[in-house]
Amino acid sequence: MSGQRITSLVVDHLAQLLAQVLRFDGPADAVMSRYFRTHPKLGSRDRGLIAEAVFFALRRLASLRWMMEPAHPQRAPRLAALITLARQHGMTSLDARALRNDERAVRHALSMRIGSAPRLVQSEAPAWLYQRVSQQYADAEALFAALTEPAPLDLRVNTQRARRDEVLAELRSATRQHAPLRAEPMPYSPEGIRLLDKPGLTRWPLYQDGKIEVQDEGSQLIARLVAPRRSEMVVDFCAGAGGKTLALGSLMRSTGRIYAFDTHARRLSGLGPRLKRSGLSNVHPAAIASENDLRVKRLTGKIDRVLVDAPCSGSGTLRRNPDLKWRFDERELARVNGVQHRVLLAASRLVKPGGRLVYATCSLLAQENQSVIERFVADQPQFVPLPAADVLAAQGVEIPGLERTAPFFVMLPHVHATDGFFAAVLQRRP
pLDDT for the residue numbered 197: 82
CA 159 to each of CA 189, 213, 227, 390, 414: distance values in angstroms, whole numbers, following the listed order: 13, 11, 15, 24, 29
Helix H or strand E encompassing 243: helix 243-251
**Burial tier of 2 (Cβ tally within 10 Å: 0-12, 13-18, 19+):** exposed
- Which pTM was predicted? 0.94
The sign one gets for the Cα dihedral 45, 46, 52, 56 is positive
Local mean pLDDT, 10-residue blocks, the chain (430 residues)? 80 97 95 96 94 97 96 93 97 92 94 95 98 97 97 95 94 73 94 89 91 96 97 95 96 96 92 94 93 92 98 97 96 97 97 98 98 98 98 96 95 96 97
What SS3 class is residue 97?
helix
SS (H, E, C) 282-326: CEEEEECCCCCCHHHHCCCCCEEEEEEECCCCCHHHCCCCCCHHH
The full set of domain ranges for the chain reads: 8-117, 153-214, 217-428
The Cα–Cα gap between 317 and 29 comes to 14
The Cα–Cα gap between 103 and 88 comes to 16
Instruction: Measure CA 342 to chain center.
Output: 23
The dihedrals phi and psi of 220, each to the nearest 5 degrees, come to -60, -40
Residues 6+ apart with CB under 8 A from 269: none
DSSP per residue, 405-430: GTTSEEE-HHHHSS--EEEEEEEE--
* Cβ density class 25-48: b for 16+ within 10 Å, e for less: eeebeebbeebbeeeeebeeebbe
Residues 6+ apart with CB under 8 A from 410: 369, 401, 402, 421, 422
Q: Which CATH number fits domain 217-428: 3.40.50.150, 3.30.1360.40, 3.90.650.10, 2.40.160.10?
A: 3.40.50.150
Same fold, 153-214 and 217-428: no
What's the CATH number for 153-214? 3.30.70.1170
Beta strand residue intervals within 335-375, DSSP E: 351-361
Question: Nearest Cα to 82, choosing from 66, 114, 112, 104?
Answer: 104
Cβ–Cβ < 8 Å for 421, 410:
yes
Walk across the sheet containing 183-185 and list its strands. 183-185, 192-195, 153-157, 212-214
**Burial tier of 331 (Cβ tally within 10 Å: 0-12, 13-18, 19+):** exposed
